[in-house]
Amino acid sequence: MHQKPQVQRGKCIKRGQILADGAAIICGELALGKNILVVYMPWEGYNSEDAVLISEHLVYEDIYTSFHIRKYEIQTHVISHGPEKITKEIPHLEAHLLRNLDKNGIVTPGSWVETGDILVGKLTPQMVQESSYAPEDRLLRAILGIQVSSSKENFSHEH
């Protein structure tokens, strides 16, 4: 085994600091993998220019599938127009965009998410001028005293 030191002689070492990289560790991250036999050859016109052709077995058996777990933090604040709210009930959004959110508006643990998927639904109250309401909303406010939603949608997306 060959290991490359990541610290210098005579320097102070802190708790949790990476001491060395090796065959299975790169920058302190575990880098395990599987070797694959690769052949470079023309095959019935499927590989043109810089295309790479792989076996269906690699795909269907999840040979090279990997999972990445990241931690995201989101904060809510109390602003002058009221508190921000984390919820699944986001107006003006189609249901399929909120499919991964639980009843509290946070992505369900174990959900398969991709780039652009909503991880957290957050509403921020906004001060809305009376003239910006639709006519039917102004009528509801004037006659029935019903407060019409005036929140701005905020989302935390997967990048």
Alpha-carbon span 143 to 148, nearest angstrom: 13
CATH superfamily, domain at 78-157: RNA polymerase II, Rpb2 subunit, wall domain (2.40.50.150)
> pTM, whole model, 2 decimals?
0.47
Alpha-carbon span 113 to 100, nearest angstrom: 8
The domain locations on the chain are 1-7+14-66, 78-157
Whether the per-residue pLDDT at 52 is higher than 60: the answer is yes
Averaged pLDDT, 63-72: 76
Least confident of 22-26, 85-89, 109-113, 119-123: 22-26
- Residue 79, Cα to own-chain centre: how many angstroms? 26
Average of per-residue pLDDT values in the chain = 78
